Amino acid sequence: MIDFDARVNCSVSKAFGEEFLYEHKSGLSYPVTGVFHDGFRRQVFDSDGTPAMATSDPFVGVRMVELRERYGQNDILVRKKTGVRYRIAEPQPDGMGWINFKLKVSA
């Protein structure tokens, strides 16, 4: 069997990852490497031609082996590069050792 995490996830994390601080609701904080994708906003048109906005929340992908506690909604990730704090809005594990966290900017 192929170790997908070691062959793929680890390589992606090393090539594209940056440092985050994971703040678990238990109070435990520790560094993780994550691949950050910023949200976007663009104008789209409904079927009747009415303008609308399409948006995407920012998210970060992390190797699950880096998480020391069970992840959860409302845990915090701090992007070290910018200092911006994000609240985890929705954890989305992929079943292959990787998890995407949909994020919301936190106060």
Domain ranges for the chain, please list them: 15-105
Residue 57: the pLDDT is 87
Note whether 17 and 77 are within 8 A (CB).
no
Question: Which tokens belong to 79?
Answer: 């992007």
- Does residue 100 carry a pLDDT above 90? yes
- Does residue 107 carry a pLDDT above 90? no
- Does residue 44 carry a pLDDT above 80? no
Question: Which tokens belong to 22?
Answer: 């994971």
d(CA 56, CA 3): 31
Say which DSSP state 76 is in: E
Residue 47: the pLDDT is 83
Q: How sure is the predictor about 43, in pLDDT bands with cuts at 50, 70 and 90?
A: confident
Mean pLDDT of the chain: 92
For residue 19, how many other CB atoms are within 10 A of its CB?
12
Note whether 106 and 87 are within 8 A (CB).
yes
Q: How many Å from the N-terminal Cα to the C-terminal Cα in the chain?
A: 44
- Does residue 40 carry a pLDDT above 90? no
- Does residue 61 carry a pLDDT above 80? yes
Fold of the domain spanning 15-105: Thrombin, subunit H (2.40.10)
Average pLDDT over residues 48-71: 88
